[in-house]
Structure 1
Amino acid sequence: MKPLNAIKQAARMRQREAARALQRALAPAASTAPAGARITPRFHSRAWLLRGISSLPGTLRLRDGVLSFAASDTGSAWGWQLRKLARLAPAPDEFLECLADGRPAVVFSQPLALLRIHSPWYYFKGGLVVHAREACWRISFGAPARSSGQVGLALAVDELGKVRGMRALGHQWLSLLTPHD
């Protein structure tokens, strides 16, 4: 049996490797746009895919007019939720395998023209709802409550501080994803 510290260290190492793999998988490609063409913005951030009372952490990315979300971990999602997500994923056979191996798993990757995106008032601009023809994805820009391990006043102060960052990130995303008239 391994000592507890060795187990924790191995888990941290796997998380770092998974984060590096996610960065490599979602690294920007060289632009092939002709001279004078309208360049679409590129942006990415940490986000959580909300599924009922559970969530999956990952990266929301906008690149070359395509919005995608790649889960970096199973988060608090149940097995049946992951199987349902796998059926909706662009590569269903790879989705669960990637998550099991600690690699990023693409949940969706859709051209913006095929999506309807908004932020309901009750999200306070701290998240988005992305509607595609086959599914609806709820995205949050803040970690789920009580995931920090803090309690009492420290938790309240920490959570309030996160709200400001969530809203700022939500404003950035909305400015990139919604049409400007």
Structure 2
Amino acid sequence: MVPRPRGRSAERAEPPVPARIAAALAVLDLAPHDRVLEIGCGRGVAVAAIAPRLTSGHLTAIDRSAVAIAAARDRNAAHVAAGTVAFLEVSLRDARLPPGAFTKAFAIDVNLFWLDGSAELAVLAAALSRGGRLHLIHQAPSHTGRPRIVDGLRRELAAAGFVIDRLDSPDDTGVPLVVVTARPPD
């Protein structure tokens, strides 16, 4: 967990960022001009951390839950008003994303990528720009659960033609994470 600020501003501070979101922020290696897609944005915690870093870039966040999208829009109202962030209530499978629109896409704890993500990976392959990257971060239920997630990710990404650049199970976070970076087929 990222520590909370102390003192007067602590009352207004966001809650600590969970380890899986901190891992996503680290692996994304954001540039100010990146065009980012978050799949399964939930209540917009990662969006709130990413948007200030995109001075000339943009973030599109999708989730199929209307409740989650409403909460994410509320949490990130200033970023939406500034035009830095857009939220879409849609599943990845049904999303109509412009071809080559995103330099980076990421998902945190979206199980379909290691279970059966063929249709969704096809959408991502088309939506990522040349040289774009997909980052998948999963928190396994236990350290012994990581191999099943790793095997599933390898299988699904390979079947969709993605090339894995990084597959890591960091132990320094205190939680059983799996972190994958992959590039779409040429």
TM tier, shorter chain?
under 0.3
**Pair member with larger Rg:** 1
Q: Given the two structures, how large is their TM-score scaled by the length of structure 1?
A: 0.27
